[in-house]
Structure 1
Amino acid sequence: MSDATAQTPVDRARASHLGPVARFLKDTELDTRMLGMVGALLIIWALFHVLSGGLFLTPRNLWNLSVQSSSVAVMATGMVLVIVTRNIDLSVGSILGFTGMIMGVTQAELLPQYLGFGSPSIWILAAIAGLIVGVAIGALHGYVIAYLGVPAFIVTLGGLLVWRGAAWWVTSGRTVAPMDATFRLMGGGPDGAIGSTWSWIIGIIACAAIIWLLMNARTQRKRFRFPLRPLWAEAFLGTVTCGVILACVWVANSYPWPVGIVRRYYQALGQEVPEGAYIAHGIAIPVLIALAVGIVMTFVTTRTRFGRYVFAIGGNPEAAALAGINTRWVTMKIFMLMGGLASVGALISTARLNAATNAQGTLDELLVIAAAVIGGTSLSGGVGTIAGAMLGAVLMQSLATGMILLGVDTPLQNIVVGLALVIAVWLDTVYRRRIG
């Protein structure tokens, strides 16, 4: 099928009556809600950059912003599935705090008694222990919600209190530190990044994957005789996406190690510090973890039977049950997945802090819910995207980071976050009313 015959005469006639912007959006098939969120993010960045005297859009701040967004972004991918099925999870912050404390105690106090300090397996076993606990908590919540019929709001509100108290009970309020040296790499920092060379390699591989996905999608459309995007639209999407990826790599590589760390690095090698020595951070490991989770969750939601069941339940639970979907088991698996992702968020957060504290994860549940909703997930169910939720996490962290640079007090920061959440839900209501 050629490009000229990719559309029917009726389609071409309709397209001829569209304005240039509408025709562009139709040809590229871009999501207008996602474009609106990207535009809002860019406006926020520009505003904070001006108000902070040029401090916001610097490689250092953007690199730190990406690291700080990782934990919430990971959990937001799971919250999308929870909200899509018309549920809510208010306990994710407390689960993060409890599983983080489990990881901290396991690697700092329990395992060294048997394996010795510095054993290479300590951090792996600690991470597995936290993951198992997170999935188990999610399974408990899911069972009570799906099989005992208790509303998710009540179950997870109780979980918020229970697991926050349990985190305190594990150590009687003590802060557990330090973490295993290898475990700390999951939190970023000079050692917790992959450097300039590997960052460029990953960026190039990502661009190649984008081009392959576009070509494969076009091939599949031809195979099943679906309408094709114009070639210029395919080229535009590939060019812009690859440009954004390479720009992100460039920013990550533009943030160098501090002078003191560079000096200690060369001293450890027994060498003199070269004149003008420059060592780039590159992409941080927690950012790679968040991106990997995002890719996997996108595949799960769009390419698996489980993902189709989730959106079917969110669209119409009664019809999904009549169609033979085991809605209770799917709901339970969603909360198990949410618990596991909260433990991944705990891994990143604990490694970044180099400690497990009782305040860890406080109010994270609000940030995660806000990220999912701002990212386009509808509280009415049935609608949501993983990419939107992750972008929402970056937007929420951008607000927090920008206000910190401006010296805004914490209470006012909470007011702004609360207003952002309310406005996002209001816009979602208006959007659904218009398309309805």
Structure 2
Amino acid sequence: MAEQTIAAPSPGAQTERGNPLRRFLNATEIDTRLLGMVIALFAIWIGFEILSGGLFLTSRNLWNLSVQAASVSVMATGMVLVIVTRNIDLSVGSILGFVGMIMAVTQTRFLPGWLGYDHPMSWMVALSIGIALGAAIGAFQGAIIAFMNVPSFIVTLGGLLVWRGAAWMVTSGATVAPMDTRFRLMGGGADGSIGATASWVVGIIACVLIVLSILNSRRQRKRFGFPLKPVWAEYFMGLIGCGLVLGSVKVLNSYYMPTNLARRYAEANNMAWPDAGLEISLGIAIPVLIALGIAIVMNFITNRTRFGRYVFAIGGNPEAAVLAGIKTRWVTVRIFALMGALCAVAAAISTARLNAATNAQGTLDELYTIAAAVIGGTSLAGGAGTIAGAILGAVVMQSLNSGMVLLGMDTPLQSIVIGIVLVMAVWLDTVYRARAK
């Protein structure tokens, strides 16, 4: 990071000198919309902390919030690609419910007879079947949209009804439980967390990756002759990124197992139980790691692959994309297949967390997923959206839900608040894009 850059004078140089904030944002290249969302999220947290009498920003609530946001976060990453191409998917909640029911039935009724009860491979077989089924459903809906020219709104609205009904028909509405012990790890909880030491290791690895990413970005800019960020800006972004990661790990490690679970854990591991008890950190929950891993992969797909470039090209100008030789119909099918596979992963997280599959599972998740993507900056007009914004949008949505539950607000009032937030997010997106023109 020893290179120095000399900025060429520009017509707005005098204005930039007189505006330190603008100079800072330009130097660090911070996405102002993403920054605004972060500020809004902190404002929501502080507001609920005050209104709840100090209950919101506890390590326990923040740990639960991270786990509860995982399934919607996973689906929101796929919804970004769907909306970027000017489509919509209203069926994701129903697909989650149907695939979750199939995975539950598979591991409770079929696999025990084939592999034996609680076989080490049961969870892998059930998860593989679920992902394959979800991808097939998504591809089927995508093919209808792409090759039969039926609007995605209508196809997925039909899917919302069909797959919800199919979930009921699998067991005639009966709840299926319990799940395989290894499968349940994907849902979090005391067993589905990696502990304090492993969490610090994950945090340190993440910090190393952040630094390497900054160094690689600087090297690529220099290689292709692009302007370089000031060295202080690189250090600043690295410190902020590592600080957020390690701070999050610290908060999650501050949540300890409840006494009864800690005593059971001590007995299982032949640990002495002192009079004062044991403080055993849960650390990062496995569903959170799954969501973050999928977010990284999806970010790579959207920004570093030909498929990702095709997606944004179609959303920006569908006619030009066709003229450029992009097979837009097959891209659409792949997008919806990917969305279906992500619904299956979310179904596994949700089913594992509940340790059961119910007919109501995933109800209204389609609205929360769309809201997360839109709040995160994905434009309903197509052509714009980010994976990081969708993840942040999911956290915002879950923060609102968690805060309202702590305040004891009735469910109808919660729905009113979520609806108002969604409308305001779309309105703000419209204003932002009008000013950007």
TM-score calculated relative to the size of structure 1: 0.98
Report what 1:416 is aligned to: 417
Aligned to 2:123: 123
- 1:14–1:337: structure 2 CA closer, same or farther, 3 Å change rule? farther
Q: Work out the CA distance in 1 between the residues paired with 2:36 and 2:217.
A: 25
The alpha-carbon distance between structure 1 residues 298 and 6, as it changes in their structure 2 partners (threshold 3 A), is farther
Deviations 1:402-426 (A, max 9, x none): 0000000001101111111100000
2:64 maps to what in 1?
Answer: 64
Query: Contact 2:259–2:277 (CA<8 Å) still a contact in 1?
Result: no
Contact 2:138–2:337 (8 Å) recurs in 1: yes
Note if contact 1:6-1:228 (Cα within 8 Å) is conserved in structure 2.
no
Aligned to 2:165: 165
Deviation by residue 1:85-144 (Cα, 9 ceiling, x = unmatched)? 000000000000000000000001111111111111111100111111100000100000
Identity of aligned residues (%): 67
Q: Provide the secondary structure at the position in 1 that maps to 2:119.
A: coil
> Which residue pairs with 2:230 in the alignment?
230
Q: 1:55 aligns to what SS in structure 2? A: coil
Report the 3-state secondary structure (helix = DSSP H, G, I; strand = E; otherwise coil) of the residue aligned with 2:120. coil
How far apart are residue 261 of structure 1 and its match?
Answer: 0.8
The answer to whether the 8 Å contact 2:74/2:345 transfers is yes
The equivalent of 1:406 in structure 2 is 407
Letter in 2 for 1:133: L
Aligned to 2:291: 290
SS at match of 2:278: coil
CA contact (8 A) 1:6 1:226 kept: no
Q: How does 1:77-92 map to 2 (within 5 A)?
A: 77-92=77-92
| Matches of 1:133 and 1:51, distance apart in 2 | 44
Aligned pairs (5 A) from 1:8-407: 8-10=8-10, 13=13, 16-274=16-274, 275-407=276-408
Paired AA for residue 156 in structure 2: T
Deviation at 1:5, TM superposition (A): 4.2
| Pairwise CA distance, 1:16 | 4.2
TM-aligned CA deviation for residue 272 of structure 1: 3.0
Cα distance change of structure 1 residues 389 and 268 upon mapping to structure 2, 3 Å threshold: same
User: CA contact under 8 A between 1:309 and 1:325: conserved in structure 2?
Assistant: yes
**Structure 1 alignment gaps of length 5 or more:** none
CA contact (8 A) 1:65 1:398 kept: yes
**Conserved 8 A contact 1:6-1:227:** no
* Residues 2 and 161 of structure 1, relative CA distance in 2, 3 Å threshold: same
**1:5 and 1:140 mapped to 2: Cα distance?**
52
Per-residue CA distance 1:129-161 (angstroms, 9 max, x = gap):
111110000010000000110000000000000
- What secondary structure, in the 3-state scheme, does the structure 1 residue paired with 2:173 have? coil
Letter in 2 for 1:53: G
Task: Return the alpha-carbon distance in structure 2 between the equivalents of residues 200 and 11 of structure 1.
Answer: 48
Q: After the TM superposition, which of the residue ranges 216-225 and 321-330 deviates more from structure 2? A: 216-225
Inter-partner Cα distance in structure 2 for 1:3 and 1:281: 43
Residue type matched to 2:331 in 1?
V
For 1:387, what is the secondary structure of its paired residue? helix
Distance 1:232 1:15, change over 3 A: farther
Counterpart CA distance in 2 for 1:2 and 1:211 is 15
Q: State the alpha-carbon separation in 1 of the partners of residues 415 and 11 from structure 2.
A: 48
> What CA distance in whole angstroms lies between the structure 2 residues aligned with 1:209 and 1:106?
38
Using the size of structure 2 for normalisation, the TM-score is 0.98
AA of the residue aligned to 2:372: A
Query: What is the alpha-carbon distance in structure 1 between the residues aligned to residue 414 and residue 216 of structure 2?
Result: 45
